[in-house]
Amino acid sequence: MPEYLPTAPYRGTRDFLPPEMSVRMQVFGHLYDVLERYGYLRYDGPLMESAEIYERKSGQEIADQQLYTLTDRGDRRLALRPEMTPTVARIIAGNAGSLQFPVRWYSHPNCFRYERPQRGRVREHWQINADIFGSESPNCEIEMFELVHDLLRSVGATEDMFRVRANDRNLLSSALTDLVGCTAEQLPQVFSLVDRWEKYDRDTLAGQAETIGLADKQFEKLGDVLGAGLALLDELPAPVKEASNLVRVLESDAAGLVHFDPMIVRGLAYYTSTVFEVFDVSPENNRALFGGGRYSDLAGMFTSQQITGIGFGMGDVTLMDFLATHGLAPSPRSEVDVVVIPVSEDLGGAARQVATRLRGTGLRTSTPLELRKLGKELAKADKAGARAVVIVGREDWDSGNVTVRSLATREQRQVPLDEAPTAVAALLAE
């Protein structure tokens, strides 16, 4: 017996059969449309980059635990991209002289992380990224929040299904040093602790705080700070608040787009001020869907020119879970709209002529590859989701006619060849 290779994909990756791919393409099409209506231009980059750009800027968890790395024949260390932001920073830096800032770009790459596969996490995912480069204006934050709302609305979500929670790392740093009493050296570890705050019980968090070196009173104060909400801003120094774009958003007419939350930190190391996450509010899927933030120096890995940026990445796994939770996932499209069936092999060329006319009007049209009896072809067309067929018979064709048939009502009529596209379109519109 031959030894066959397994048919399952590598663990943490997925196959998408046509019905699932149809759902995905419908969803992504709505998102692309919104992004382009906002003026975002699509770009792409290589699947592999130097491992160094992720090790320097993506954070310890990605660099130490999640990178897929390899060494090429030139002894260069490469990595499959775990995210797109370092790549776009490299592209922006390399082309800065020819760009008119600020720029709005988006992409939809597949990314790879060595994760433990579970709900919401796989090892290969697709992520829509949207970024603005070259502006420090708080209008960038406002546009990001508006864009998030419009993207989710475009796939059927209503405002009561999700919440945008935002923070400013500089505000949190001030609160941790001025109110909690953390040292500058402790801040990175405390940031990591805050990022885990909603994932662990109080005793676990207290133990981790003790490891960092926080006293019991500091741990209690940290809990007060993280639960204070907007009231926290009243306790912070005026200069820190005046420098915060997020505070300016909260004081503007766009304040309703976002909820201030001191617990939002984001794990990626390159964020420098505004950070935000979008949460599903359903008890069945109460988790972060995606997030982003502002980075002031990411392009500094590649150029001396300071190019600030802000953006987010929306992963396909959590997005599809969100749509499924709220019953928003679209149905797969049918394979075709109409099938053109010749009644005999010698009419195959005639059927292809009719199909060409129908495709020219935008109808998804197929013809049989292996002709069978008419009844079987009608059944096959119905199973493929076609709502109409065009039957090409010898006498009709010689007279310049074809027969248009509804698969729903089984009613049919003979029409001139030139009128076939109009007749089919009318039938499909019923």
Where is the binding site for L-histidine, in residues? 83-85, 113, 127, 131, 266, 270-271
Do 264 and 256 touch, CB atoms closer than 8 A?
A: no
Q: Measure the CA–CA gap between 173 and 43, rounded to whole angstroms.
A: 34
Q: What is the dihedral of CA 106, 110, 113, 114, to 10 degrees?
A: 170
Binding residues are: 83-85, 113, 127, 131, 266, 270-271
**Length of the chain counted residue by residue:** 430
**Burial class of 41 by CB neighbour count within 10 A (0 to 12, 13 to 18, 19+):** exposed
Do 364 and 338 touch, CB atoms closer than 8 A?
A: yes
Residue that is written with structure tokens 């090790």 in the block = 55
SS3 percent helix, strand, coil of the chain, rounded to 5, is 45, 20, 35
- Contact residues for 91 (Cβ-Cβ < 8 A; gap 6+): 43, 45
DSSP-based three-state secondary structure for 119:
coil
Tokens of residue 315, six digits:
């992963």
